Amino acid sequence: MSRSEILAAIPHRPPFLLVDEIVEQDEQRILCRKTFTPDEWFFAGHYPEYPVVPGVLLCEAAMQAGAVLLAQHLDATDEQVPVAARMQDVRFKRMVRPGETVEIAVEITERVSKAWFLSARVSSGGKAAVTFEFACTLAPKGE
């Protein structure tokens, strides 16, 4: 999936777009990548002597990947967007540093009406950096 297709699927924009490319996608699962370059805006203040990608941004990257996955389940004329409703069982397993590329795997585990339940695993170098479960619901655009 090209960057323009990612931008068409979700409302996020630089500098807060945390998905660089879609590697694989089907109806239930998506695999994305994001490379955190040394000049990312948050490294200047987040442990500047020992820069680390904030764990919350790793979670956000996974939820953005989930939003791209959910976009195919929404009607193109629908004036709603998926938004995070819940995160649970968040486990930070390793730090991600400038220059690292993460792989973001998100899977839909259940759907109940307008709520989707998903699981996420963000890894670098084949090792998990964060795993968690989250839920999304639909919110009207512009509100």
Token readout for 24 is 């694989």
- Which of 29, 33, 46, 97 is flagged as catalytic? 46
Residue given tokens 């200047």 in the structure block: 44
Is 73 among the catalytic positions?
Answer: no
> Rounded to an integer, what distance in angstroms lies between the CA atom of residue 61 and that of residue 16?
9
Residue 134 CB neighbours (<10 A)? 21
Please state, as a whole number, how many other Cβ atoms lie within 10 Å of the Cβ of residue 103. Answer: 17
**Residue 81: both structure tokens together:** 């967007």
Cα 96–chain centre separation? 15
Q: Which residues are catalytic?
A: 46
